[in-house]
Structures are given as C-alpha cells and as structure tokens.
Amino acid sequence: MPTLMVDLAFSNPIQIAGMLGMQTSWTGKWADLPDFSLLETTTFTPTYWIDAMLTNNFGIDLGLVGTLDVLKLGATASVLGVDLLNIGPLSLNGLLGLGNNLFETDKLDIPIFGKEFGFGGFNRIAGNAFTIGVRVPEPGTIGMLLIGLVAMGFVRRRYGFTVRKEYAF
C-alpha cells in the first residue's frame, strides 16, 4: 500500500516528542507526524513523496483430475454432407451409471518466483512553506500583570479577605 512520506525542515531548532535535544528537521510517514514544541516563530518547509513496496509472485496452481472411460463408442452416418445418424459418444461407465473420475487433487500451489521491491520513479514534491508564530507578551504587559497581582495581595492583606467554605447537609 502506498505511503505518503514527508521531510520537514525547520528554520529554527524545535523540540520533537520522543527525540532528545533540539531538531532542525524530521523525516517519516505523514500519518506518524509527532508532537512538537516551538521556542520562537519557525518556518516549516515540507517535501513530500510516495513510498510503496510491491510483491511479485509467480507460480503454478495445479489441480489434477484422472479419468478413465471404458469402451467409448460413437457413430455418425452422413449422406452428401447431411448427418443422418449421430450417436455418442457412449461409454460403458455412462451406461452402468459409474463415474469416470479415478482421482482428483486439491489445488497445489507451487511457487517459482517471489520478490518484494520498492515502487519508485516518483519525484519529490516541495510543498509550500508555512510559518507558525510564537507570541511572547511585551514587557509592559508582563509588568502590568505583576503590578495587578501585587495590588491584589496588598488589598487582601490589608482588609483581611479570607475564603470560607460552607457545606450544606
């Protein structure tokens, strides 16, 4: 069965699940594309191809049948190319209601040649490159978040807000 294969090249090193260290490319079956994580905006450049293995088998299938007809008889009479009498063929086995099969074998498969080979001749196809961006908050946004968290902690401490759990039975 043909398999779609891919070679992915990355503009920046990325982490790929199941592989140690940072990677700049990955090659394998498209269906087995692993999980990955990016540290920065990265452009992926794919190259596709088809991979297939074919099997060539050549052999002989034999099914043997042995028959015997005893005293087979037939007669034909014709005048000026016109058949006047056409009898037969009659056999003694047929007249006595006996079959004429002496033996019969199941199909016997005799392999002569078998070889598996790669199905090639397909050109690799370069896919369109695509970019996956990683958004990092701006320093001002992170600063505002920290100021908000500090203010919330100050208000909680100053006014003594507590969270109370109530259970109803």
Collect all residues with Cβ–Cβ distance below 8 Å to 147 and sequence separation of at least 6.
none
Neighbouring CB atoms inside 10 A of 168's CB total: 3
User: In 13-126, which ranges are continuous DSSP H helix?
Assistant: 92-96
Could you tell me where the beta strands, DSSP code E, fall in the chain? Answer: 3-16, 22-29, 36-37, 42-62, 65-67, 73-79, 82-90, 101-104, 108-119, 125-126, 130-132
CB 27 within 8 A of CB 5: yes
| pTM exceeds cut of 0.85 | no
Residues 92-143: pLDDT tens digits? 777 777 777 777 777 777 777 778 777 766 788 899 999 988 777 777 888 8
What are the structural domain ranges in the chain? 65-104
Task: Give me the count of residues in the chain.
Answer: 169
Instruction: Tell me how far apart the alpha carbons of residues 49 and 45 are, in angstroms, rounded to a whole number.
Output: 14
Residues 1-11: pLDDT tens digits? 788 889 999 99
